[in-house]
Structure 1
């Protein structure tokens, strides 16, 4: 269980990272806003990097779980994307992790997560390509082309997270993105 000081550091750290990005975020400022000394900070976190990773790790795990499957099967999320369907729970989960998605998109430079979404898109396109290759009715599409489409689709989904002010607005953005991408047409023509 996290204590109040740890919770305060996490909240102040998240705000500092959102405002300044990881590289420009000030540990002194985080401590000042948390009303603690740097010694109190270091009793709870090894470094600024450790704090950042603590903040984003639940969202990282959530996103990674979408594109991986323990039994080497195609994850439901990818199947639904390729069929142009929405996975309502998944989409709302992205919005629930909104601040962390923004951190990973816009504030992760200087951390191991700087290329996080590119790596997710790569994993997702690899799994999708394998899945599509096994389907007889699928349109032939190159791995590179699928990666380009998948990367731009994920970027658009996460941009919707950044710009939407509430869940309903986000849901509308995603519905329109699915119409725009029209995966079924791309993959069957």
Structure 2
């Protein structure tokens, strides 16, 4: 087997990220990426398999770590007592939202790709996967606090899905608007207060 030239792998990833950001996955050209990386399309196929494999090499490590972080935050909260969950829900969410936001800004270009350049890949459903996790743990929280609003039919499952989707779309607008990190933290803090007030109508719909 021929020895692979040092540095080509990282250079291909760098050039691929720029091409995907500029054109999106579907319109991105492996030929253009290869030329920019001073290599051949054959070397890209050897290293990554195909264009989606190249996109996956950029996106998958970030997505897997972010989802793992998000599930850990949710599960750690679920392990708290009912009293602790009732008392700390809003503050807990705000604290860990900042942690997740910093992770997003540490990998800003990848999240730009996930939001606006992933159509045609399995990563195009990234936000939907986050929504599903949040909905799952929202139901767990409602069970812990004895919330009957869904069981009674006063609040529907579809409505919970809608408000959680709005919550995540709002959070990721900081990426779509290319906000700097400090502005994003201010925006998301305000957004969190707004949504926590709204969620109270689900958890205590009679108030």
Distance 1:89 1:123, change over 3 A: closer
TM-score (normalised: structure 1): 0.85
The answer to whether the 8 A contact 2:114-2:126 is kept is: yes
| Aligned 1:119-134 pairs, distance under 5 A | 119-134=129-144
CA deviation after TM superposition for structure 1 residue 24, in Å = 0.4
CA distance in structure 2 between the partners assigned to 1:60 and 1:42 by the alignment: 23
Structure 2: runs of 5 or more not aligned: 79-84, 150-154
Matches within 5 A, 1:45-60: 45-60=48-63
> Residue 185 of structure 1 aligns with which residue?
200
**1:102 and 2:112 matched:** yes
Classify 1:144/1:86 alpha carbon distance in 2 versus 1 (closer, same or farther; 3 Å). farther
Deviation at 1:164, TM superposition (A): 3.9
* Aligned mates of 1:81, 1:68 — CA distance in 2: 18
* TM-score of the pair, normalised by structure 2: 0.78
Counterpart position of 1:176: 190
Residue of structure 2 aligned with 1:19, choices 13, 17, 22: 22
| Runs of at least 5 residues in structure 1 that lack an aligned partner in the other structure | none
Rounded to whole Å, the distance in 1 between the matches of 2:59 and 2:10 is 14
Q: Distance in 2 between matches of 1:152 and 1:175?
A: 15
Rounded to whole Å, the distance in 2 between the matches of 1:18 and 1:98 is 11
* RMSD of aligned residue pairs (Cα, Å): 2.7
Size of the aligned set, in residue pairs, is 184
More helix by share: 2
- Tell me what 1:166 maps to: 180
Instruction: Work out whether residues 74 and 131 of structure 1, in 8 Å CA contact, stay in contact via their aligned partners in 2.
Output: no
Contact persistence 1:66–1:75 (CA under 8 A): no
Cα displacement string for residues 66-85 of structure 1 (whole angstroms, at most 9, x for unaligned residues): 4435xxx73449x7995252
Rate the CA distance shift 1:163–1:150 in 2: closer, same or farther, 3 A.
same
